[in-house]
Amino acid sequence: MKAYLEKHLTTRWAGRGDICHEEQMDSTNRRAKEMGRSGAPHGSLAVCDVQTAGRGRMQRTWETPAHQALTQTMVLRPQLRLDQAPLITLGAAVASAQAIEDVCPDLHVGIKWPNDGIINGKKVFGILSEMAVVDGKLDFVAPGVGINVNQTSFDGELKEKATSMKLERPAEMGDIDLKALMCAYLTRMEKVVDALEVSGFDGIAQEYLRRSVTLNQKVQVIGAQETFIATAKAIDEEGALIVVDENGTERRVLCGDVSVRGLMGYC
């Protein structure tokens, strides 16, 4: 992976810092946070072939079958205010969707707010961003992305909910190259983060909004304290979802706090 990236990357900073690639890690997020705390530069990367204890948001687990998925976390030190940090999660969703389409132009990837990749109503990637704050300022953000790439089946609750890039293509097409997908993601992520630094959410708004499967839909907002039905109206400059509930009251839903579901199924 490292040699491939050195040969093929044309980025200025993404994938140019420390690259930690190991066959097995418990969690690329845990490793990236360790790297961040030891001073790894902007654009560093933790990536593995087998992740044994992947996590999603709110203590959920992320299933990663060995050698069939791309599991990686960058270390970013963006010039963003602390309140803009959630934008990295939305940006990583845009970069992941773009990278999938760069490698497989026949696929079309939507985004379920804030950060799930969707193909034909099923989840193709998930993102867990974690961050470190020093003296009230953002020290680093570690967006972890798990992309389902070459899986040919899912079990249990994932059967109805998950898909992979391979499953969404004609059966005769071969396996997708994980290294090429990694390279495409780093290339896209550099552009996304640069744009966020210059313009905030406006820098990615067009790409994010055109892919949104949430906006203008009736959704169920599932929080720790309450669940309610609302219509998704907009996304604000900090990446929060603006909804109007059934009483006509406008409410602001923060990433990290809730899950959003469509009324008829997953999205």
Binding site residues, ligand ATP, CB under 6 A: 56-57, 60, 62-63, 116, 123, 126, 128, 146, 148, 157-158, 161-162, 259
Give the residue with the Cβ less far from ligand ATP, 16 or 123.
Answer: 123
Place of tokens 């599932």: 222
Q: How far, in Å, CA of 182 to CA of 74, rounded? A: 11
* Cβ-based burial of 172 (10 A; exposed 0-12, middle 13-18, buried ≥19): exposed
Asked if 14 and 57 touch (Cβ cutoff 8 Å), the reply is no
Give the residue with the Cβ less far from ligand ATP, 19 or 103.
Answer: 103
Q: Closest approach of Cβ 2 to ligand ATP, in Å? A: 25
Q: CA-based Rg of the chain, rounded to a whole angstrom?
A: 18
Give the residue with the Cβ less far from ligand ATP, 76 or 127.
Answer: 127
Place of tokens 């193909």: 119
Give the residue with the Cβ less far from ligand ATP, 128 or 189.
Answer: 128
Give the residue with the Cβ less far from ligand ATP, 101 or 257.
Answer: 257
Which residue's CB comes closest to ligand ATP?
Answer: 56
Give the residue with the Cβ less far from ligand ATP, 75 or 145.
Answer: 145
Q: How far, in Å, CA of 90 to CA of 2, rounded? A: 26
Q: Closest approach of Cβ 153 to ligand ATP, in Å? A: 12
Q: Closest approach of Cβ 57 to ligand ATP, in Å? A: 3
Place of tokens 């420390």: 18
Beta strands in the chain (DSSP E): 19-25, 44-51, 69-75, 110-112, 116-119, 122-134, 137-148, 218-222, 227-235, 241-245, 250-253, 259-262
Q: How far, in Å, CA of 148 to CA of 146, rounded? A: 7
Q: Closest approach of Cβ 128 to ligand ATP, in Å? A: 6
Place of tokens 């079958």: 65
